[in-house]
Structure 1
């Protein structure tokens, strides 16, 4: 194990933690709002970086690089096309949440349907986080770190055992971040990591191209643009993991769910000082998503020109880092990977605790007629975070047995929870008389339908197209029930006037520019661009 790389890794990791502690050392968390929403005081830069880095985990580095190496750049669609969904969320959905002073996205379901629907969806979110999101973040982080430092070789243990150990190390560090620092500490870490991540991406690109070009980065650029260019194609065919047609079906639905209703993401936007700040923060996060090809795709392209046949393709990214980077840069990138894992794990843990405490624990106590103090909420939120973290750390190593492309596997798992929840949220947004029973039936139908089509029946249809079919059928069922058994009174959203709802006046032209850049990226990475 290279001493310089390990020393740099420890130094950078310590530096990020020290800056976060220094910036939050005078902050005492005494309320649930302080722990979960940073007292609704975040600036637009804090919101933007928090949104971006909560979305970015080691899974992005690991999954995207593997997909490009095995297939092509069609995997880019997940990140780049999300800009369109983010613009819609900024314009239409975030104002609804802020108007109702909502702390969690299921709060809308209570307002629109009833408390039972809110509790049911909160429970689904918690199951999704504990058995899917948190384990994936831990596993991908462990895979990336082992690939850079080759712990399994140096410790003389099996690959599986080294992944176990690293999962528990990342999980314990991330738990401490969330439990002791709350959302504010996580946001500060995101700001620091933002600078480090883009610096690391540029340096990795330089040394990777230099390696391909035998010391000349310009020759490296010429090489990747003149050979094996089919890997640059972002317009996926029917045989690719992400066919281009899926962008307009299930992918847009999953992106709308993720950026508009996923608690771990929306919580960052709800912590903003006002609507204008939230909208500017989302626009800033969009810029980060458009830079995704530089951050996550290029290492896969470099790997295509370095390795003819990798045995373990999930280590594509870490192999590139290990083989082309000088020791100091390897340690630097490893620290960024660990930071990305922590700043995805910690917000997810914080959001899981938010859902449990505010939507399940507190209502249960109040129903029993027992007073609930802020100290009681804080104490039990930290207990729940430790429980959820430990459970995730036990589940994460089981991903060693997952088959196929890791990124596609991750998205399939996410879909099982996302589309059923988004379907009833969508109907709630656009109708006023559909009753609560329709939401419960729709949720059960969509969830069971997806499980049956993915695990029981082989339809031969891409899972993203299946999601669209189920989404439309769920909406139809809910509308029919709404027609037959409408609510007596129309739903009317209440303005609780907690934050200023004046929108950002320059949002339209800026959002238009973002969408134009999104389209140009797809044209650049296509057969009419550089993938000739």
Structure 2
């Protein structure tokens, strides 16, 4: 690997770390509000940057482009449908979250239902993050870096297994330092800096990729060749045999997106830290605009890689790193690898920060030591965070061999996404549904989807109707069960959400018009590429 590539990689990685330290070195990291919620001081650029970068890690860059390598443009659903979920967050969920002044989603369930519901939700989140989310972030990051930087050639390590373990642990340790010593604002600032670099780098890769397709004949010529040579890859409507069949956009794909952007602690924690409701809404809707651009740098490169390398035996999840290494000039390869490291660290440290928040405020302060001081709560989060980080770094290399990294991630996420979303939606839209209904839905929902995936003969159901239709069916059943329990054994009195007075709840006047514009653009994008 050219020395210039590695030198530029180290320079840009160090630059982001230095700027982040300069900006946040005087922040309050000793109190729970300062450490977990950035003192409720985030403005819309930091919220948008942090939301975007928490989402845009290598499970997106590597995994989604890998899915596009296989199925083409139809996998853009994970980006484009997300815009509708972000509009829902800005207009419906966020005002209610900020009204309660919560730091974690389980705290909302405690307010709406009871302590037991909060505890169950906390445990579900912690298990899912430890086994599913954190390991996948580290594994996908290691695979991406190996392709971009030719780490085997750089280090002289020929064993892919040894190199995978080494990369996972180095990235994991660095990410842990960011999350466990810096707090949420440090995460948000580094996210925003890396977000700018990622967007620039993503579009630069598309530029050089299309140049490679046209053999330096120009970007538009490359685009025309790509469309003419691979028309089946340029269709926004997914077929029944693809990862995202079109009609699943209205069932499981839609619901998974709604959970991810409205009730996933890893994502929404930075919206809880909004300075005001208006700032939060502007940040969320700005994120929606950037998600509309997502197919350009999260899907199109995968299609370009298919055009260039499909006959070379390249695996889908290795395609993106291979493209970057081959089409970018050496200094830009180092720059983009640095941005990718930032993306990995961003998602990892955001997930780890959210995990420690859930543990410290939900279990340590709420159950294990109710009289803990703020310093003890922060300290407990750091100790637990290292335990979770080590677990994730141990599990991550064991994921090697998955056929589709992104498909595996979405399938596993549905196990806990769907039950939690059902409980939150019913909780916020009804007044008499009791705590027992929420507990039945949380536990029963996770068990039902797990059985549908792994336990015969139940695992034949998703095969017959598709995974995404299956999880949507479970969602409808859970909502129905909760409503029936609410009718048969309702609460003694109506639940009324009180204003905790945490932030100014005056909404942004442009929120509704902006939301409408974003939804219209989603429909227009699908129509433009419908084949």
TM-score range, shorter chain: over 0.9
Equivalent residue runs for 1:44-59 within 5 Å: 44-59=44-59
Query: Which residue matches 1:30?
Result: 30
Moved more, 468-477 or 38-47: 468-477
Q: Distance in 1 between matches of 2:473 and 2:187?
A: 38
Is 2:419–2:445's contact at 8 Å kept on the other side of the alignment? yes
Report the alpha carbon displacement of residue 82 of structure 1 after superposing the two structures with TM.
Answer: 1.0
Q: CA deviation at 1:424?
A: 1.2
Which residue does 1:246 correspond to in 2? Answer: 248
1:261 and 2:266 correspond: no
| In structure 1, C-alpha distance between the alignment counterparts of 2:352 and 2:195, rounded to whole Å | 21
For residue 221 of structure 1, report the CA deviation from its aligned partner. Answer: 2.4
Are 1:44 and 1:278, in contact at CA under 8 Å, matched by a contact in 2? Answer: yes
Whether contact under 8 Å (1:446, 1:474) holds in the other structure is: yes
Instruction: Give the superposition deviation at 1:366.
Output: 4.6
What whole-Å deviation, never above 9, does each CA across 1:371-409 have from its counterpart, x for those lacking one?
Answer: 31111111111111111101100011111033x222111
Secondary structure of residue in 1 paired with 2:465: coil
Alpha-carbon offset, residue 365 of structure 1: 4.1
Alignment correspondent of 1:320: 323
1:336 corresponds to: 339
8 Å CA contact 1:365, 1:372 repeated in 2: no
* Cα deviation, residue 26, structure 1: 2.1
Cα distance in 1 for partners of 2:356, 2:54 equals: 16
CA distance in 1 between partners of 2:163 and 2:381 (Å): 31
Aligned to 2:43: 43
Partner of 1:237: 239
Deviation readout 1:75-102 (Å, 9 max, x if unpaired): 1101111111111121111111111111
Residue 156 of structure 1: SS of its match in structure 2? Answer: coil
> Counterpart of 1:413?
412
Deviation string for 1:343-381 (max 9, x for gaps)?
Answer: 0000110000000000110022455xxx31111111111
Which one of 343, 353, 358 corresponds to residue 355 of structure 1? 358
TM-score using structure 2 length:
0.96
Choose the corresponding residue for 1:223, options 218, 225, 243: 225
Which residue in 2 is equivalent to 1:190?
Answer: 191
Q: In 2, Cα distance between the equivalents of 1:364 and 1:443?
A: 20
> Can you list the C-alpha shifts for 1:281-323, whole angstroms capped at 9, x where unaligned?
0011101111101121121121122113334221110000011
Q: CA deviation at 1:522?
A: 1.2
1:179 aligned partner: 180
Moved more, 175-184 or 211-220: 211-220
Q: Report if aligned partners of 1:49, 1:284 keep a CA contact under 8 Å in 2.
A: no
Q: Which residue does 1:526 correspond to in 2?
A: 530
**What is the Cα deviation at residue 148 of structure 1?**
1.1
Shift of 1:56: 0.9
The question of 1:446 aligning with 2:445 is answered: yes
* Deviations 1:400-450, CA, capped at 9 Å, x for gaps: 033x22211110011011101111111111111111111111222211111
Task: Tell me, yes or no, if the aligned pair for 1:212 and 1:220 is still in contact at 8 Å.
Answer: yes
Matching residue within 446, 457, 460 for 1:458 = 460
Q: Distance in 2 between matches of 1:201 and 1:256?
A: 25
- Separation in 2, partners of 1:225, 1:277: 41
SS at match of 1:71: helix
Could you say which residue in structure 2 is the equivalent of 1:500?
504
In 2: Cα distance, 1:487 partner to 1:220 partner:
63
Task: Call closer, same or farther: CA 1:28–1:108 in 2, change over 3 Å.
Answer: closer
In 1: Cα distance, 2:262 partner to 2:224 partner = 41
Q: Count residues with an aligned counterpart.
A: 523
Structure-to-structure mapping, 1:233-312, within 5 angstroms: 233-309=235-311, 310-312=313-315
User: What CA distance in whole angstroms lies between the structure 2 residues aligned with 1:468 and 1:221?
Assistant: 37
Q: Which residue of 2 aligns with 1:530?
A: none
Instruction: Report the RMSD for the aligned CA atoms in angstroms.
Output: 1.2
Tell me if structure 1 keeps the 8 A contact 2:69–2:302: yes
The CA deviation at 1:153 is 4.2
Q: Does the residue aligned with 2:131 lie in a helix, a strand or coil? A: helix
| Contact 2:120–2:442 (CA under 8 A) maintained in structure 1 | no
Q: Output the CA distance in 2 between the equivalents of 1:494 and 1:366.
A: 27
Once the two structures are superposed, residues 97-123 of structure 1 have per-residue CA deviations (whole angstroms, 9 ceiling, x without a partner) of 111111111111111110011011011
Report if aligned partners of 1:16, 1:193 keep a CA contact under 8 Å in 2: yes
Q: Deviations over 1:243-286 (max 9, x none)?
A: 01011001111111111111111101010001101000001110
Distance 2:204 2:366 in 1: 51
Whole-angstrom distance in 2 between the partners of 1:70 and 1:479 = 41
In structure 2, runs of 5+ residues without a counterpart are: none
Aligned to 1:61: 61
Please tell me whether residue 486 in structure 1 is matched to residue 487 in structure 2. Answer: no
> Aligned pair 1:513/2:517, yes or no?
yes
Structure 1, unpaired ranges of 5+: 528-532
Aligned to 1:14: 14
Q: Determine helix, strand or coil for the equivalent of 1:401.
A: coil
Alpha-carbon separation, structure 2, partners of 1:516 and 1:126: 37
Deviations 1:184-229 (A, max 9, x none): 1111112211221121122212211111222222432221122112
In 2, Cα distance between the equivalents of 1:268 and 1:515? 23
SS in 2 for 1:66: helix
Contact 1:17 1:189 survives alignment (8 Å): yes
